[in-house]
Amino acid sequence: MSTNTPVSTAAAPQNMQEFMEGIWERNPVFVMVLGMCPTMAVTVSAINSISMGLATTFVLAASCWLVSLLRHMIPKEVRIATYIVIIATFVTVVDYAIQAISLEMYEALGAYIQLIVANCLVLGRAEAHAAKFPPVAATLNATGMGLGFTLGLTMIGGVREILGNGTLLGFSLFGADFQPWVVMVLPPGGFFVMGGWLLLFSIYRARKDRGGGTAVVAQGASHGT
């Protein structure tokens, strides 16, 4: 009994690290800058962004779980083709599910649901992580990446909806007198908002790095005295 306790206690922090990696430290949108095609195309509103992000999260988690489960059975020569077939299967499930739930949402997302198959984030997680790790770690990592992708889309879509329509999740924020920024619902608006968020993240990381360097110098000076 005592030999099992250290293993279980060590697994929990490791699993949490796998999950949190994609949400903040390696956010697919703001850090790795992956999946820019749907990021720019569907983020005209927060609800579209959330829907696309959750659809991608499901495909990521399900496909990475199955790839990890079959990782010792898939021949290396056909691994990429096999991953694409697995991903396409779950994309088809999502495609039909969204059609059944809301035709309006399905039309709003358009072809970008099917294009999840070609999203480099999904195939990249299958190849770089799920094919090398057990199912629990692979699923947690994929879910974190998917939620990080959803967070990134929502942050962009929320700003574009607020400035472009004066609403958030369909609820009016500024009343009838608000003059919408039409550019925000056009393609350039996506690039403007994306650039603004990347600038803020760069400033944050630079300040964090400077703060860490200052702490190391101060620690070294105290040891020297």
pLDDT at 224: 53
Q: Could you tell me whether strands 167-168 and 171-172 are parallel, antiparallel, or unpaired per DSSP bridges?
A: antiparallel
Determine the Cα–Cα distance for residues 136 and 16; give it in Å rounded to an integer.
11
Measured distance CA(117)–CA(83) in Å, rounded: 10
Please compute the mean of the pLDDT values over residues 22-50 and round it to a whole number: 87
- pLDDT at residue 11 tops 70: no
Using pLDDT thresholds of 50, 70 and 90, give the confidence band for residue 6: very low
Q: What is the reported pLDDT for 154?
A: 95
Span 189-218, average pLDDT? 80
- Write the pLDDT tens digit of every residue in 112-164: 898 999 888 999 999 999 999 999 999 999 999 999 999 999 999 999 999 99
Question: What span, in angstroms and rounded, lies between the C-alpha atoms of 54 and 147?
Answer: 7
> What's the rounded mean pLDDT across residues 22-32?
84
Q: What angle do CA 62, 77, 92 make, to 5 degrees?
A: 30
Cβ atoms of 58 and 150 within 8 Å: the answer is no
* 33 contact partners, CB below 8 Å, separation of at least 6: 198
Query: Are 179 and 200 contacting, i.e. CB atoms less than 8 angstroms apart?
Result: no
pLDDT at 222 over 60: no
Query: Rounded to 5 degrees, what are φ and ψ at 180?
Result: -65, 150
Mean pLDDT of all residues in the chain? 85
The confidence band for 212, taking pLDDT boundaries of 50, 70 and 90, is low
More confident site: 22 or 199: 199
Q: Which residue has the higher pLDDT, 127 or 212?
A: 127
Q: How far, rounded to the nearest angstrom, does the alpha carbon of residue 65 sit from its chain's CA centroid?
A: 17
Q: What's the pTM value of the predicted model, to 2 decimals?
A: 0.83
pLDDT digits (tens, 9 = 90+) for 42-97: 999 999 999 999 999 999 999 999 999 999 999 989 999 999 999 999 999 999 99
d(CA 8, CA 26): 26
**Average of per-residue pLDDT across 11-32:** 79
Going from the C-alpha of 27 to that of each of 22, 23, 30, 213, the distances in angstroms are 5, 5, 6, 23
